[in-house]
Each structure stands twice: as C-alpha cells, then as structure tokens.
Amino acid sequence: MGKRLLAALCAVLMSFFLPSPAPPDSPGGTARCLAVGMDLFVTRETTEPCSANNAEIMAALFAAYLPEGTRITRRVNGPGGAAELSRLILDAFSGAGREDTSFLYLSTHGETWVTEDGDSLMTLILSDGTREEAISAEALRTMMDRIPGEKVLILDCCHAGAAAEAFSGPDWAVIAGCGAEEECYFQSAGKDTGTGYFTTALENALRAAEPWQIDPDGDGNVSLKELAARIREIYGVSTPAFVSGDEDRVLFRIPENRKASERLLGIEFDPPEEEDGQITLSFRFRTETAVKLEYRLVPAGENGWDFDSAVRLPDRERTGSTRGLLSPGEKTRSIRVSRERLGETGRALLQVISLRGLRWQVPVPEATIVICDRCYQSSVRNFDSCSMGLVTQIGDLDKSANGQ
C-alpha cells in the first residue's frame, strides 16, 4: 500500500516538471508562419536586399491578415543547408495540431534541371553566404509532412510553378510566383531597397485592393480563389500558379480596421482598345497621399523582359513645377502605345510605378500589365493569357477572356 502511494506521489510530482505535449488533434485553428529570404549565395548571383525585404513584407502581412496571436518566425540569409532548414521548420511549427495552419514563405533562387533519365527536377537554393546547398521540392515536402494540419506554401523564386506538383494533397495550398519554365524578377533601387515583383503584387492585392476586389462575397475572409483573381488583375510579369484541392480555402482575413495604404488604391483596368495602330489602356485608381507616378514600357527580349531597355514616362499631372506628382483623390488615366513600341516580339510590359522615399528614389510597382499584338498559347511559357486576366489581343478584342 505504501509503495503504491509513493508511486502515485512520484507521478504527480513528475507532472509538474515534464511538459505535456499537446495532442495532434487539439482544437484551436492557430496559425504559425515562417518567412525565409536568402540574398547571399556562394555560387549564384546575389539578390541583396530583395529577398530580405520580401521576408519582411510577408511577416508584416502575416501579422496584419492572420488572427491575433499568430506566431511568426523570420529568417534572413540562411539556413545554409537542408539539415538546418529541417530544424528551423520543426521549431517554427512546433506544437501544430491537425486543426492548425502552417504558412511557409521562401524567397530564393530556384532552378530546374534534367536528369540522365530525362526527368525534370526543381531545386531550391539554400544559402547563408558561406554555405550553399540545393534541395529538391520533394525534400522540402518531406520536411513539411512532419507538421500536422494544413500547410500553405508561398514561393517567390524562378521556376516556382515546377514545385507545385510535389505539394499536391488535401492539406496543401501552393502559391507560386511564376510558371515552371519562367523566371521571377526582383527589382533593386539601392543598397537598402528592393523587392520581388510577385511579393509586391501579393502585398498590393491585400493592402491596396478595395473590399469588392479582394473580398467580393463580403464575408471578411480572403480565399485562395479571391487572392488569385485579384493578383491576376494587376500582375503580368510572370504566370503565377495557385494550387489547392479547395479553391475556396480561406487564407487570410480582412482586418476590421484596415489601415490606409500609401499604395494606389483600387486600381482597375478597362478592356484595351485598338485604333489606327495604337493600343489604348484606360484605368482608374485613388490615392490618399501625394505620390509621384510614372509609367514604364518594358520590351520582351529573347530571354524575358528587358527591364534595362524600358521607356519611362511621367504621369501627366503636375503639382507646382513637378510633373508626375499627384495630389490625393480619384484618378482616371489612359495610356496609348503604338504597335512600333512593341518591337519584333509584339509584346511589352506596361508598369505603373509609384516613386516613394526621399527625392522619390524608391520605385514601387503598383501594377504590371502585358500588352501585345499577338497572344500565343504556349505550354512552355504558360502564356495562355497575356496579362493574368487582361488579354490584349489586337484585332480580336471582343474575345478577351480571363487567364487561368
């Protein structure tokens, strides 16, 4: 009798010193987020400071558009290998249960290569600037499969769409910033500024869209389908992929007191018109702050968009003697582009760029729309739609259709 009492007393005492792990099916629906940005590499080109800024943007979006109490982990310039990434994932998502959601964001170099057997593989480059290792999408899937519950993977890297296949399944949603055979593009404007075009578009979709543009059903949530639709309206740099077994899966919630954004708000494009060899693209937006605005026409080259050859044009509005400086208010604009400006490829990227910061030295892409005189359907570059929801097919404008 004394031994049984002693054993029971020991069990009670031990319970105070040993943590009780949460059961894997514990309720609560908690979100956990890991945002990783890698700019410094050993054998690849640096992207500094764009991936670091991307990770900061996503961490801020997670904090603003996920429920209060969401746990957010940021990592910049690292990990440098698969083992370290695996430990980071286990730590960032520790305690996750089957009712919870884990968000993983990666901004880095992505590559595709063909094996001796002819199989095409996609790899992600991990690096801290001194150590570097390539891991396959399948290896990343294995790491994340150790985490119970739903998972959301967001990739801003070249060939991101090639990773989507590895993450199929009822528990997964994948947002890839470009197609399997496409490059993603980053833009840098100095030592401390620069981001990825896709991450900037995702931020614009959440922060600068009007409620009816990002939450058309008015339920206060943003589903994968709603997010994809908005990004496709304002983003043409590449062909993002949105993959899930449930397109109505809720990813984000609209804050009750959403703060005013310095971005162009509610930007909306009309179908393009063509007359006498000119393409006219009209759009509307509003701004709650003074902003300097310009437009850039980027030609398509053999290896993608030739940003170095972009033609720049300031907005027509003036404030004082400064052309392109807009006062707050509702704005309507029309941009006309001649066919000659489209060059031999017949395609160009129209960028709406706001200039921020001291002396307006920081360019922020507000929208990027593809204009073309011929739209080819290509399984290689995924150009089923020229502009992610705005097909500018000259001579056949009445057949404009949303991209997929």
* DSSP string covering 128-161: -SS-EEEEEHHHHHHHHTTS-SEEEEEEESTTGG
Q: Of 140, 153, 126, 138, whose CA–CA distance to 249 is shortest? A: 153
Closest C-alpha to 51, from 120, 130, 119, 110: 110
DSSP H helical segments within 189-264, as ranges?
A: 197-207, 211-214, 224-234
Q: Which band of pLDDT confidence, cut at 50, 70 and 90, is reported for residue 177?
A: very high
Topology annotation, domain 31-253: Rossmann fold (3.40.50)
pLDDT band at 358 (very low <50, low <70, confident <90, very high): confident
What's the CATH superfamily of 265-399? Immunoglobulins (2.60.40.10)
Highest mean pLDDT pick, 58-72, 187-201, 336-350 = 58-72
pTM metric for this prediction? 0.85
Mean pLDDT of the chain: 84
- Sign, CA torsion 199/257/260/270: positive
4 pLDDT higher than 80: no
For residues 241 and 155, what is the distance between their CA atoms, to the nearest angstrom? 10
User: Which of 103, 200, 202 lies closest to 153 in space, CA to CA?
Assistant: 103
Which residue ranges make up each domain of the chain? 31-253, 265-399
Give the model's pLDDT for residue 222.
97
- Place 386 in a pLDDT band, splitting at 50, 70 and 90: very low
Q: Is 234 helix (H, G, I), strand (E, B) or coil?
A: helix
